[in-house]
């Protein structure tokens, strides 16, 4: 493969003005295992074409591969943005050094820089890191924000950061809180990359749950189609379903319960956990358990994406559907279980 990459590289000077030829080489670079070089070529073609024509569209396909849609959703959440920026402003002092894990668009890093900090932000994906550098430069913060194309666990506190950070900020939380690896990343960062008594934003994360009724007209599970019973196929369905907060897709049928809460400011390794408990129903049909997240940014700031009328959030809630609906009366108890494996959450109704 190394010889193939060398052969492809040797062709570049001959086709430097030909977007279609450059894209063809980029695609072969990907096949040969050199994604960073392929991304650089795709960026070059995108700049040459402005994203127009077949070469421009193909360049966009290469650049967007592996970039999740939530990178374009999260920055639009004004409540989330305000909560993070206020927490950063409360923490930052003159000369503060901020480490961000997960650059994304660079928004949080620029917020920290705008508040007066010097920021090192790390991003494992080379395409995202490159785009974030351009965003930072376009907004005039290239002298205060350094984007490092590494996973946080590969950072060297001296070589990459110039010293230990006074503040850690991250948003590597998922709809279930844990599946982006927030626990492992924070444990490593607190142990290796932060100064003593450093501020961590968010300081804590909590998984909250409640009994829920599905308000949608049609269940995503299969039943009859064209006269055939398809229900046996449902065993292949994911055990949870995404619920858009603010879309009134579910009704809460119990008071919320904190399932698990996590200290993001500790280096102590959190072990997997499992628990079962009773939840008291408001009454009526219960279709499953809805799960959402709450972030404690600092002693003052909090962000929660509770699925209720009038709410809005860049994060979705998750509905863990029961095998069959349960009819309840007010104050009936439903026994549910929950477990996490550090990077995965699971909920169920007990027999």
pLDDT in tens, 137-189: 999 999 999 999 999 999 999 999 999 999 999 999 999 999 999 999 999 99
Cβ atoms within 10 Å, residue 263:
15
**Residue 280, CA atoms < 13 Å, CB-side half-sphere:** 3
Same-domain check for residues 125 and 46: no
Specify the CATH number for the domain of residue 295.
2.70.160.11
Q: Per the structure block, which two tokens stand in for 64?
A: 């967007």
Same-domain check for residues 210 and 336: yes
How many structural domains is the chain composed of?
A: 3
Report if residue 176 sits inside a domain: no
Same-domain check for residues 331 and 229: yes
Same-domain check for residues 60 and 75: no
Q: Does the pLDDT value for residue 76 go beyond 80?
A: yes
Same-domain check for residues 54 and 83: no
Q: What pLDDT does residue 240 have?
A: 95
Cβ atoms within 10 Å, residue 207:
22
pLDDT in tens, 255-314: 999 999 999 999 999 999 999 999 999 999 999 999 999 999 999 999 999 999 889 999
pLDDT band (50, 70, 90) for residue 114: very high
Report if residue 178 sits inside a domain: no
Same-domain check for residues 291 and 231: yes
Report if residue 192 sits inside a domain: no
Same-domain check for residues 80 and 40: no
Show the 3-state SS of 239-281.
CEEEECCCCCCEEECECCEEEEEEECCCCCCCCCEEEEEEEEE
Same-domain check for residues 214 and 345: yes
Residues of the domain holding 25: 2-64
* Bond before 273 cis per omega within 30 degrees: no
Report if residue 141 sits inside a domain: yes
Report if residue 182 sits inside a domain: no
Specify the CATH number for the domain of residue 129.
3.40.50.150
Report if residue 184 sits inside a domain: no
Same-domain check for residues 118 and 29: no
Same-domain check for residues 90 and 211: no
The three-class DSSP label of residue 119 is strand
pLDDT in tens, 219-248: 788 889 999 999 999 889 999 999 999 888
Does the global pTM surpass 0.95? Answer: no
Report if residue 303 sits inside a domain: yes
Q: Are 164 and 194 in contact (CB under 8 A)?
A: yes
């Amino acid at each position: 493969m190394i010889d193939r990459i060398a052969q492809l590289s040797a062709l570049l000077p001959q086709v430097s003005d030909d977007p279609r030829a450059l894209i063809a080489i980029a695609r072969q670079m990907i096949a040969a295992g050199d994604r960073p070089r392929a991304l650089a070529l795709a960026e070059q073609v995108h700049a040459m074409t402005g994203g127009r024509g077949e070469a421009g569209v193909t360049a966009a396909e290469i650049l967007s591969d592996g970039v999740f849609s939530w990178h374009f959703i999260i920055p639009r959440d004004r409540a989330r943005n305000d909560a993070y920026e206020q927490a950063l402003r409360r923490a930052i002092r003159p000369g503060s050094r901020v480490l961000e894990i997960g650059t994304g668009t660079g928004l949080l890093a620029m917020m920290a820089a705008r508040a007066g900090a010097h920021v090192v932000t790390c991003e494992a994906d080379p395409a995202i890191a490159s785009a974030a550098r351009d965003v930072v430069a376009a907004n005039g913060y290239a002298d205060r924000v350094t984007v490092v194309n590494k996973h946080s666990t590969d950072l060297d506190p001296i070589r990459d950061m110039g010293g230990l950070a006074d503040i850690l900020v991250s948003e590597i939380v998922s709809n279930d809180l844990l599946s982006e690896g927030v626990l492992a990343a924070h444990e490593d960062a607190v142990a290796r990359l932060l100064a003593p008594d450093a501020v961590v934003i968010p300081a804590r994360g909590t998984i909250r749950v409640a009994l829920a009724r599905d308000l949608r007209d049609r269940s995503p599970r299969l039943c009859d189609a064209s006269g055939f019973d398809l229900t046996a196929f449902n065993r292949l369905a994911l055990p949870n379903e995404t619920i858009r907060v603010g879309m009134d897709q579910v009704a809460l049928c119990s008071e919320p319960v904190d399932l698990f809460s996590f200290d993001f400011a500790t280096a102590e390794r959190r072990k997997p956990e499992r628990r079962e408990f009773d939840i008291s129903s408001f009454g009526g049909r219960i279709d499953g358990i809805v799960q959402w997240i709450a972030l404690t940014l600092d002693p003052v700031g909090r962000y929660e994406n509770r699925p209720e009328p009038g709410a809005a959030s860049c994060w979705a809630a998750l509905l863990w559907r029961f095998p069959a609906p349960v009819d309840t009366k007010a104050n009936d108890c439903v026994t549910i279980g929950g477990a996490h494996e550090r990077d995965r959450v699971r909920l169920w109704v007990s027999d």
